[in-house]
Homo-oligomer: A and B are copies of this chain.
Amino acid sequence: MSVSKKESSKHVIRIKCQDEIGLIHKISNVLYLNKLNIIRNGEYVDNESNQFFLRSEVEGTLEELVVISNLEKILPPGALIDLKPIQKKKIVILGTKEAHCLGDMLIKHQFNNLNAKIQAVICNHQTLGNLVEKFEIPFHCISASGLERTEHEQKILDLLDTLDFDYIVLAKYMRILTPLFVEKYPNQIINIHHSFLPAFIGANPYKQAFERGVKIIGATAHFVTNDLDEGPIINQDVIRVDHNYSWRAMARAGRDVERTVLAQALEMVFKDRVMVNKNKTIIF
């Protein structure tokens, strides 16, 4: 681990610890003594669990290990401290056949609006290969055909092991990940679910929504945990539908919502604005 002397730059500091009086005072004191300017600050206390959460964007010349060490000294035992420079994330995208979320990310990627570098796209079908390759991103088709679930997943895990990434984005990846997979990447897998969770968990939510006769449909971006569609919600949005919508029309209209909900969630995650608090998120 290197202790590098950095140029003045922007960092994000995120702290989670037991709440106690004077935390902001003590933390801001550390930042002050390290000559760091606070650009943007967010705090939250979960009164139920008595946990304190803080996110600070700071600017200045900073030695990461020194600051972390200073913070450790003044924070309660067990405090989690995350300090990193503000920079682009690296991601791997998993998909199946639908192009709308993936396509949006590829376009933003090309025009430098994604705030992330796409390292690879992995799909269980060939459908999207031609699209991905247009953008000169490595495309890997790992078919699940004829394979046990764990065999198929192992192939993906083996491939992931060769890649360097911060997050895995499930851009309408239509297979359920096993606990083994999910536990390997805690709070690193982001999924877009095509319903307003917790309504319509599971398969074909638009058909479920149609059958129920709802007047609004939605989409939910969340971190993946081992409870199906129950992970911490990052972002949600909805649109109105009426009795003239077949479930296919709902699915078509829903795609625009899915794409935007995922795009906004990724924007927040990639800027380190999201902290996980048990099965919920705090968005600073």
Contacts and interface: CB of A to CB of B under 8 A. Distances in A.
Interface residues of A, number: 68
Interface stretch (A41-49, A175-183, A185-193): A41-49
Contacts of A155: none
A129 to B, nearest CB: 12
A134 B137 CA distance: 13
Interface stretch (A70-78, A81-89, A239-247): A239-247
Q: Is the interface of A mostly helix, strand, loop or mixed?
A: mixed
Each complex incorporates copies of this chain amounting to 4
Contacts of A214: 197-198, 233, 236
A39 B45 contact: yes
Contacts of A253: 264
Interface of A: 21-22, 24-25, 28-29, 31-32, 35, 37-41, 43-45, 47, 99-100, 103-104, 107-108, 110-111, 113, 131, 134-135, 196-200, 212-216, 218, 232-238, 240, 242-244, 246, 252-253, 255-257, 259-260, 263-264, 277, 279-283
Nearest to A230: B212
A198 B108 CA distance: 29
B280 A213 contact: yes
A264 to B, nearest CB: 7
Nearest to A252: B113
